[in-house]
Amino acid sequence: MKEIITAKEFNTIATQEKPVLLDFYADWCGPCKSLMPIVQKVADKYKGEVIVRKVNVDRFQALAQKFGVRSIPALFLLEDQKIIASSKGFQSEKAIESMIKKHTNVLVS
């Protein structure tokens, strides 16, 4: 799973026609470390259907601020450059898939 480190990268991804799932995290965050393999599994499962990227809040503070991230981990689901769903804290694979299914046209298996 790739990391967004510049505004240009974010803008390129946000303008895609596919839903985008952003995982805001930090290297020092225990729950973030626990969530990372789950988000990676979702990224692998929905490759080609959903764009999944991670955002380190310490390295890209401007984007974290833009999204109003106050606690991590935080997941944001975007479509047409708009936030359509979000969650805070550790999430199960099933919960992340439910969020995708509820808010997008992506079929969740």
Catalytic annotation present for 78: no
Instruction: Yes or no: say if 76 and 22 are a contact pair by the CB < 8 Å rule.
Output: yes
Catalytic annotation present for 29: yes
Which of 4, 20, 21, 29 is an active site residue?
29
Record the tokens describing residue 37, joined without a space: 């393999």
Which of 4, 20, 32, 38 is an active site residue?
32
Beta-strand ranges (E) seen in the chain are 20-25, 51-56, 74-79, 82-88
The residues annotated as belonging to the active site are 29, 32
